[in-house]
Chain A
Amino acid sequence: MLEIKNLHANINGKEILKGLDLVVRPGEIHAIMGPNGAGKSTLASVLSGNQAFEVTKGDVTFYGKNLLEMLPEDRSREGIFLSFQYPVEIPGVSMVNFMRTALNEHRKYNKLEPMSATDFLRTMREKKELVEMDSNLANRSVNEGFSGGEKKKNEIFQMAMLDPRLAILDETDSGLDIDALRIVANGVNKLKRTDNATILITHYQRLLDYIVPDFVHVLYDGRIVKTGGKELALELEDKGYDWIKKEVDGE
């Protein structure tokens, strides 16, 4: 579904991605790991269309369509979801209003009628349970006054509502205590099907105890330098990234 070829991207003139290749097929879970500054979050930003980043070279297709030509909102409507590392607060905008606007924009894009208020509220109740979200959380403003854990649960809740074909979870485990981590991971696992895929961006192996990846990629200096199965994550946990750096830099 997703094909990334030789992707190069800059921020403020500094090259971060330096020829990244990746293929994701339906039903797969890919973990992307790597040291700080390797370009993990840049990849998430570029795929979701954050205009702070400039793509200088390469192609990205999503189900055959040129992703790089699409507006961020159209990428979302095509089924790409980003769980933000730092979800922003939008004061005065209730989660209900926000989610209803977003969902109906998706439906409009897919030539469906807007969802009725009752159906919407019912769906919201169901999906909230998936991440054990406090019921009154949904009536509060978007992320306003949410704790770190609540913000991350809220991201997964939104993912459940929008039912994406490809979910990119950017450091979703950072700042979570062990209970919240379990809840978030359970949510992601329950949403997994054979027709959707997930990219997990993470520093630590511990998330992968809960969400088992099909592939683990090591991102270093703007490129994927090593790919393996879930045992690669354990090896990284054990030995750190230095041996990979040496392998790559020694080439």
Chain B
Amino acid sequence: MSEAILDQVTQGEYKYGFSSDIETDIIPIGLSEEVVRLISAKKNEPEWMLEFRLKAYRHWITMEMPTWAHLNIPEIDYQSIAYYAAPRKNAPKSLDEVDPELLKTFEKLGIPLHERMALSGIAVDAVMDSISVKTTFKESLNEMGIIFCSFSDAVEHHPDLVQKYMASVVPYTDNFYATLNSAVFSDGSFVYIPKGVRCPMELSTYFRINAMNTGQFERTLIIADDDSYVSYLEGCTAPMRDENQLHAAIVEIVALKNAQVKYSTVQNWYPGDKNGKGGIFNFVTKRGICKGENSKISWTQVETGSAITWKYPSCILLGDNSSAEFYSVAVTNHHQQADTGTKMQHIGKNTRSHILSKGISAGQGQNSYRGLVKVNKNAENSRNYSQCDSLLLGDKCGAHTFPYMEVNNDSSVVEHEATTSKINEDQIFYCNQRGISTEDAVGLIVNGYAKEVLNQLPMEFAVEAQKLLQITLEGSVG
């Protein structure tokens, strides 16, 4: 029975696969020092930024693609990608100046760019291809001293903050994709929360890839100053295309003394079709540093999209008594592959980290959890608790767990628990007998399984994420 049910429930359609006809400024394919200079020139960047890009580029050409992940990545020709694409009418002053096609696109995606429409009270930065098209609630946030703008804006208006913190968590030499991003990144979001300020609304960035044959390389930098708090959400989609598209982003978070940052992602890049054709390669470096004492960073991710996901949102626990959390639900269906997890590096004393990872595999999906918990010699009395669960739907998919632990003192405790289970036919029949169809039953059971993680999301997004999980697995049980 489960074969047919699984097939039904995982054959869901990708809802965001349309593409928009928007005039786009796109540079020729290929990567060279000239291209890096061209991108920098297009953005009217100061000299220091160009220098940073060039340093990264020169380092990148000496590097090779990492191969250690449990992923089957086809050869990527980095010279066949265009590294910059932007909707032509850029930097609109008001919504009236925004290309109506573009507004329609975001409307279709359910992203409110009109401040009056933003009923949920969420400030949005919308990024299409390489460019931030609109940031809402900028002015009202400004009054509190909160800076929420595109990365390009920040380079222009807040160069001191950018220079101080950019690449302070993810250095340009960090890894192949992070180095590539450092050379060619286009735009992204910038957040600064001043001392003692609790950001009154969710900040969110919505990333959309539209142009063909392009890569998206955005960069996000979040700085929470002493005693501040911010909750930030990122969402992403892309059109359905037959070719694979590369997305290599960087997110850096800096939490200073007593600051708290909550970062949530609902990643729904186009996953490719049922046969594994097309889809986004999502190779992303996300890292936060709990720099000050008592600071806290929390990552929550719901990963349903992308053909291949390579992503390890991590934390460096530098400040004494700082803490970090990582909550993850990753779904792989059809031919999707995911190698995802986290790194928790304990440096300060009495630091705490908590990892909760829930993998769901269906179809021929391959799902790996990879995590490193490292406790330095001086990180006395530190604690880590990791729990990694895998749920299998069907017998052609796979779940893998690769936990690494390194503990260098005697006073710290590191615990790891892992389970693997198959969706249970008795559970499905029980639901059927109460009048619930198999498809809905799988949705209920999977959402129940992922509940602890979904509960970490801000309310509106938890509802979205639940629906998304169900849609992603539509047609996967039979």
Contacts and interface: CB of A to CB of B under 8 A. Distances in A.
Do these two chains really belong together in a complex?
A: yes
Contact of A162 (B425, B430, B434, B445): B434
28 contacts: A48-B433, A49-B433, A52-B425, A72-B429, A72-B432, A72-B433, A73-B433, A73-B436, A73-B437, A73-B438, A84-B430, A88-B426, A90-B431, A90-B445, A91-B448, A92-B447, A92-B448, A92-B450, A92-B451, A93-B447, A97-B444, A98-B431, A101-B444, A102-B431, A102-B434, A109-B435, A141-B448, A142-B430
A152 interface: no
A72 B5 CA distance: 13
B452 interface: yes
A88 B424 contact: yes
A97 B451 CA distance: 13
Nearest to A89: B427
Nearest to A97: B444
Most chain B CB within a 10 A radius of its CB, from A52, A92, A109: A92
Interface string A32-57: 00000000000000001111100000
Contact of B434 (A50, A51, A158): A158
A71 interface: yes
B432 A71 contact: yes
* The 5 nearest A-B residue pairs measured at CB: A92-B448, A93-B448, A72-B432, A76-B435, A102-B434
Nearest to A80: B433
B119 interface: no
A105 B436 contact: yes
A8 to B, nearest CB: 21
Contact of A73 (B432, B448, B451): B432
Contacts of A73: 432-433, 435-438
A123 B448 CA distance: 24
Interface residues of A, number: 31
Given A51-B1, A51-B429, A92-B450, 10 more contacts: A50-B429, A71-B432, A72-B429, A73-B432, A73-B436, A76-B433, A76-B435, A82-B433, A88-B426, A158-B434
Nearest to A101: B436
Nearest to A104: B435
A52 B429 CA distance: 10
Given A92-B449, A93-B447, A97-B444, A49 B437 contact: no
Contacts of B234: none
A49 B1 CA distance: 12
Interface of B: 1, 424-427, 429-438, 440, 444-445, 447-452
Nearest to B425: A52
Nearest to A158: B434
B405 to A, nearest CB: 27
Contact of B435 (A50, A51, A106): A106
Contacts of A158: 434
A158 B433 CA distance: 11
Contacts of A50: 429
Contacts of A76: 432-435
Contacts of B438: 73
B435 A102 contact: yes
Interface in A182-196: none
A87 interface: yes
A105 B424 contact: no
A100 to B, nearest CB: 11
Contact of B444 (A48, A71, A93): A93
Contacts of B450: 92
A30 interface: no
A217 interface: no
A153 interface: no
A90 B450 CA distance: 12
A77 interface: yes
Nearest to B5: A51
Contacts of A88: 424, 426-427, 430
A68 B266 CA distance: 43
Contacts of B426: 88
A90 B427 contact: yes
Interface string A84-124: 10011011110001100110011001000000000000000
A94 to B, nearest CB: 8
A91 B446 CA distance: 10
Residue from the set B1, B424, B436, B450 with the largest chain A CB neighbour count within 10 Å: B436
A142 B435 CA distance: 15
Contacts of B448: 90-93, 141
Nearest to A78: B435
Contacts of A90: 427, 430-431, 444-445, 448
Contacts of A162: 434-435
Given A91-B449, A93-B448, A97-B444, A102 B436 contact: yes
A58 B449 CA distance: 40
Contacts of B425: 52
A101 B430 CA distance: 13
Contacts of A97: 444
